[in-house]
Amino acid sequence: MIVAEDMYRLGSQRSAIRELFEYGKQRAAVVGAENVYDFSLGNPTVPAPACVNETIRQLTESLDSISLHGYTSAQGDEETRAAIAAYLNRAHGTHFREDNFYITMGAAASLSICFRALTTSPEDEFIAIAPFFPEYRVFVEANGAKLVIVPADTETFQINFEELEKAVNSHTKGVIINSPNNPSGAVYSEETIQKLADLLRGKSKEFGTEIFILADEPYREIVYDGVQVPFVTKYYDNTLVCYSYSKSLSLPGERIGYVLVPDEVTESETVYAAVAGAGRALGYVCAPSMFQKVLVQCMGQTGDVELYKKNRDLLYEGLTKIGYECFQPQGAFYLFVKALDPDADAFCERAKEEDLLIVSATGFGCPGYVRISYCVDEDMIQRSFGAFERLYNKYEH
Ligand code: PLP
């Protein structure tokens, strides 16, 4: 083969979620878009806050082309990094400085950078807690390490500590956590974070290694009923935060986020330099200039989370009433539901017969469950209940 076989494989196979989305478009052409209930993607439907477009308008009117569209520093504008530090310090009582931040093209870039920066040997392992975002495998393996899966705690969707303890060994470089979680909607409690920190401190000591927490937090602000999301750097020193504005500001197509390397990280300046080096090696330098400037003006703002909450309540109550077993999400915008067939892939195929497009959680490392994205129009949720009921009635209860 004239190209890298693993890259060819990645590029020629669409992800299962993308596949389903494309299928939905084909079905819409046949049966009409109003008769297809597409719950496949996590594309925010709540508009970006008004501040985003207002700032873009102001910037285009007030700045010359180079100031607006030119290269920024490789690690991002100082003003943007300082604004993020100030905001987090206000919100969480932390003491970050601009030098703790490396601006990236979203959480995907932030994660890839961290895996590349931390991997020192092909034996290095990163642990993902099921259910987990399937792209972790792509990012970890492409950057030369191994992904290890800790099975889900399907009662609470917090961390299954018994299994985690067994998975951590002398090769463990990091544990990836994602709270609020895609796909379960769980938010890790303070107790969970504390327990995780204690476990990793103990294991680092036992093996004489540095074990990192990689906190993947694109959904940090999308939480319901006043649930608090503990700020992980306050509980565990070796924490790198991978943040994205894709979901909080509804800007997934603009590709903007950051890596946070706190001073408390062991040899933090070395780790930051490796993060910058990985950004350089992977081509993630000078994140989009205009959106770095937008962030400065829109710091701390979000899209209207109440709209997602309305969808959550509608879908959770509607499906529970039909008889589905659903986990009530505390954050993000996904409903995690027990499939009516032990084979969730087969269940999703039967859902397709009703033009219901839902995602099997097998690829999320949680067999027997499905993910239903509710960042969709409320109207589509309302219209989909008949199809969910017909799907339910295909099975014996
Ligand atoms: N991590 C999780 C858990 C996600 O759900 C997503 C996107 O859906 C990402 C990372 C990647 O986000 P970004 O658009 O910031 O690259």
CA within 13 Å, CB half, 28: 12
Confidence at residue 333, expressed as pLDDT on a 0 to 100 scale: 96
CA 389 to chain centre: 30
Residue nearest (by alpha carbon) to ligand 1 atom 12: 107
In order along the chain (397 residues), what is the average pLDDT of each group of 10 residues? 94 85 91 93 92 97 95 97 98 97 98 98 98 97 97 96 98 98 98 98 98 98 97 98 97 97 98 98 98 97 96 98 97 98 96 96 96 95 97 94
Secondary structure letter of residue 390 according to DSSP: H
CA of 74 from ligand 1 middle (Å) equals 22
Question: Residues 181-210, buried b or exposed e (16+ Cβ, 10 A)?
Answer: bbbbbbbbbeebbebbbebbeebbeeeeeb
Q: Which of 364, 370, 344, 373 is nearest to 130 (CA)?
A: 364
CA of 67 from ligand 1 middle (Å) equals 29
Confidence at residue 21, expressed as pLDDT on a 0 to 100 scale: 86
- What residues does ligand 1 touch, defined as CB less than 6 Å away? 42, 106-108, 133, 178, 182, 216, 218, 244, 246, 252, 257
CA of 243 from ligand 1 middle (Å) equals 9
Confidence at residue 14, expressed as pLDDT on a 0 to 100 scale: 78
